[in-house]
Amino acid sequence: MKVAILAGGLGSRLAEETDVRPKPMVEIGGKPVLWHIMMHYAHYGFHDFVVALGYKGEVIKKYMLDYCSLNRDLRVSTATGKVKMSGSPLEDWVVDLIDTGIKTQTGGRIKRIAPALGNSTFMLTWGDGVADIDLNDLLAFHRRHGKLATLTAVRPTARFGHLEMQGDQIVEFSEKPQTKEGWINGAFFVLEPEVFDYIDGDSTHWEKEPLERLARDGQLMAYRHSSFWQCMDTIREKRYLETLWDSGNAPWKIWEERDACTSDGARRLHRNGISATAAVGRA
C-alpha cells in the first residue's frame, strides 16, 4: 500500500525556517519532520511513498538523492571518482517525488499524484505533523466500515492554560488538557481511489468541498485517536517538538534505533546542507 505525503505548501507561519526550505524539511532533532513521518509509516511496514512537491521541492529531491551517501560511510577514489558505501543498511524505501505546482491546493495535489497511487487503497497525510497512531489499527478500522474515506480525528492541545472557575476563584488549572477540546481533522487518512472523483482540479482544497461532499454522501468515517498528535505550523510548535525529542521521550518515536553508521564528517555536511559528493568535488 502506498503512502501519499503532501509536502508542497508555503509554510508561511514558519517563515523563519521556510525562507530557505519547505516546511517538511524543517528539522526536529537534526532530521527533517518528513523523515520522522516516513519512519513512523515504515515502522508499520509501509515503505512505498509518493511525495507531492511544490514550494522549494528541489530541496526535498536533493535530500532524497543524497540520503544514502549522507547516512553511510563512504570510500572515495579521487582518481576514478568511484564511491563505495559501507555500514548498516538504510531504510528500504521507494519514494516517488512528484512536482505538483507551486500554487496548487491540497486537493489538486492529491489529484495530480493519482497516477502514481494507482487504483487501490492508499494512505495520505500532511508533511508537517507527527503522532503515535497505530497505523495497522487505523487500516483495520477503514477496512471494517467499507466506506471511501477515513480521517484520523484528534483532540488538539490547548495553546493556553485551561481554567475552571467558581466565581472569581480558580478551582482547576490545566496546561494542555486534550480531553476538553473538540475533535478535529488530524490527517492520517486511509482512502479509496474513488475519492479522486470528488476533486475538481488544482484550485480544490481537500479540506473543503471533497471532505464536505464525502461526509454528505455518508462516505467519510472518523478514526478516533486520543493519544499523542502534534502539527508543526509555528516556531512555538517546532520548539515544543524539539524539546520532546531532546528529552528522549518523544511520543511519536515508536521505531527502533538502527546502528549509527554515519561518520561525523557526513553529519556536519548534512547539517550544513552540503552533499557528500559536492564536498568531495570541492576538496
* Cα 131 from Cα 251, distance rounded (Å): 7
How many Cβ atoms are within 10 Å of 281's Cβ, its own excluded? 9
pLDDT > 90? residue 6: yes
Kindly report the average pLDDT of the chain as a whole number.
Answer: 86
Quote the distance between the C-alpha of residue 44 and its chain's center. 15
Q: What is the pTM of this model?
A: 0.83
102-137 per-position pLDDT tens digit = 999 999 999 999 999 999 999 999 999 999 999 999
Using alpha carbons only, what angle is made at residue 71 by residues 247 and 27, rounded to the nearest 5 degrees? 40
Q: Which helix (H) or strand (E) holds 77?
A: none
* Cα 33 from Cα 49, distance rounded (Å): 15
Query: Which of 12-26, 94-108, 217-231 has the lowest average pLDDT?
Result: 12-26
Cell of 16: 523563519
| CATH class assigned to 2-149+182-282 | alpha beta
